[in-house]
Homo-oligomer: A and B are copies of this chain.
Amino acid sequence: MPSPTSILSLFLLVLAATTVSSTDQLIQMFPKQHIVGAEGDTKCESWKFSIEVNNAGTWYSIPQPCIEFVRTYIDTGRYLADSRNAAAFSLTFARSVKVGDGKGMDAWIFDVDETLLSNMPYYKATGFGTEPYNVTSYNEWVETGLAPALPATLSVYKWVKKLGFKIFILTGRPVSQSAITAQNLIDAGYSGWEKLILRGPEDEGKKATVFKSEKRAELVKQGYTIQGNTGDQWSDILGYAVAKRSFKVPNPMYYVP
């Protein structure tokens, strides 16, 4: 039997609902005129929501009106705060896994760009997409091997290693960048991974989702349980042979299909 309190709640609810039963009143319920801050910022916040939850599908560059928004998002620490929050949830999960049953087959996968390493110096210097993507200058940047670690992911990496997970680094970078990538990772503070998997000649032209799913499936075939997976792209996470838990770190700068 409903309690007197729940009957009172119900009455209040019906009253509340009655006041929003017409379209006009819906607008009153969700007043557009009360949007906080600049309309542009709200639109860019919503754009950020859509790209981060993968509603946008393939997109090629930050919309012109949102370039300043993205710069602010990164410069004011929100970018780091979002990645720290993702790291906190990753660690809570990592600690909940019973690792180290002697078999050593619990795996954690990390992506490289915008996950373990940050190419922010490159994106800052090239105007966050105000300039068209230039594969030559990007590769020159990669070849410097100077990308810093994304601090929150470095922290997750160190913890999951300490907890006994086997670490696989799975990147869409080509095998030709294998040596510089390994050196850059070491310089940025990473060590002790099981394998660094790059895109081989046989993987050329494959969508990232397919390439990464295939590589995860190989690990599963070898007997690994993919417990965790950290990436900045949905193509790092979706597909098949997916991890028990996947963690999306923010990336409002570019999309990899």
Contacts and interface: CB of A to CB of B under 8 A. Distances in A.
Interface in A75-91: 75-82, 84-86, 88-90
Given A77-B35, A124-B16, A6 B248 contact: no
Contact of A10 (B81, B88, B141): B141
A9 interface: yes
Given A140-B2, A146-B14, A120 B29 contact: yes
A137 interface: yes
B84 A46 contact: yes
B35 A248 contact: no
Contacts of A179: none
Given A36-B72, A90-B55, A49 B141 contact: no
A81 B38 CA distance: 13
Contacts of A147: 17
Contacts of A9: 125-126, 134, 137, 140
A31 B121 contact: no
A247 interface: yes
A85 B85 CA distance: 24
Given A13-B121, A26-B151, A148-B20, A34 B77 contact: yes
A21 B77 contact: no
B34 A76 contact: yes
Given A17-B148, A49-B250, A81-B35, A89 B55 contact: yes
A150 to B, nearest CB: 9
A54 interface: yes
A49 B245 contact: no
B57 A141 contact: no
B81 A125 contact: no
B86 A50 contact: yes
18 contacts: A2-B136, A13-B140, A13-B146, A16-B122, A17-B121, A17-B146, A17-B147, A21-B146, A26-B151, A31-B77, A34-B77, A35-B76, A42-B78, A45-B82, A49-B52, A50-B88, A55-B85, A55-B86
Interface of A: 2-3, 6, 9-10, 12-14, 16-18, 20-21, 23, 26, 29-32, 34-36, 42-43, 45-47, 49-50, 52-57, 72, 74-82, 84-86, 88-90, 93, 120-122, 124-126, 134, 136-137, 140-141, 144, 146-149, 151, 245-248, 250
